[in-house]
Amino acid sequence: MQVLPGTLELLVLKALIAGPKHGYSIMGWIQDSSGGLDLEEGALYPALHRMEERGWVEAEWGRSETNRRAKFYRLTARGRRQLAAKTSEWQRHVETIGRVLRAT
């Protein structure tokens, strides 16, 4: 299944809610919890940097579990608000489209 345009950011925000992660583990979390998405993994990084620019996430260099130097991303307060807003927006969207599709 492909990721709809614009939803990658929502997925990243959700991935970070449990705590700071580096890009590789964000991608792993998304793949695991979705049960497999057709997504170029590199596309994650422009999204992450854009979110950093908007102040949704903060980044810090640290050590990965494999003891390599990695850049960790952490949700900011603004990012949390964004997650809440985007989640409810997504649900409304799905329900609306669903109602139309169920209509006879």
Partner 1 sequence: MTRWRRTFRVPFRVSDIDHEVQDELDFHIVELITRLRAEGMSPAEAEREATSRFGDLDRHRHRVRRIARRRFRTHRALDSLRGLGHDVRLATRALLRRRAFAGATVLVLAIGIAAATTVFSFTRAVLLRPLPYAEPDELVRIEETLTKDAPGAPLHRNLTRPDVERLRQRTTRLSAVAAFMSPPIPYADESGARRLPSGLVDRHLFAVFGVLPIVGRGFTEDDMQPGAEPVVILGHRLWVERFGADPEAIGRTLDLNYEPHRIIGVMPAGFDFPHGAMLWRPLRPVTFTDRFHVVQAVGRLAPGATIAGARAELTTLTRGWAAAEPELHEGVTGARVRGWQAQLVADVRPALLVLAGAVALLMLLVCVNVAGLLTSRALEREREVALRRSLGASPGRLFRTVLCESLLLSLTGGCLGFLLSRATLGWVVALSPADLPARDLVAADARVAAFTGGLALLIGVAAGLLPAFRSVGVAAQTALKAGGTGTVSQGGSGARGGALIAIEVGMATLLVVGGSLLLNSFTRMLRVDTGVERDDVLTASITLPGTYEDDASSFEFFERLRRGALALPGVTDAVISLFPPLSGSLPIPGVTPRGARSRGRRRPGAHPVGQPWLLPHGGHPAGRGSGVPRVRRSRRAARGDREPDRCPSLLGRPGPRRTLAPGRGERRADLQR
Which spans of this chain sit near partner 1 (rule: CB under 8 A)? Answer: 22-24, 27, 40-43, 45-46, 49-50, 52-53, 61, 64, 66, 68-71
Burial letters 30-49, b for 16+ CB under 10 A, else e: beeeeeeeebeeeebeebbe
CB of 33 to partner 1, least distance (A): 17
Least distance between partner 1 and beta carbon 21 (Å): 12
Name residue 43's amino acid. A
Rounded to whole angstroms, how far apart are CA atoms 51 and 43?
Answer: 13
Pick the closer one to partner 1 by CB: 7 or 64: 64
What single-letter amino acid sits at 19?
A: G
Lookup: tokens for 64: 């990965």
With respect to partner 1, which residue has the nearer C-beta, 20 or 90?
Answer: 20
Q: Which is nearer to partner 1, 50 or 92 (CB)?
A: 50
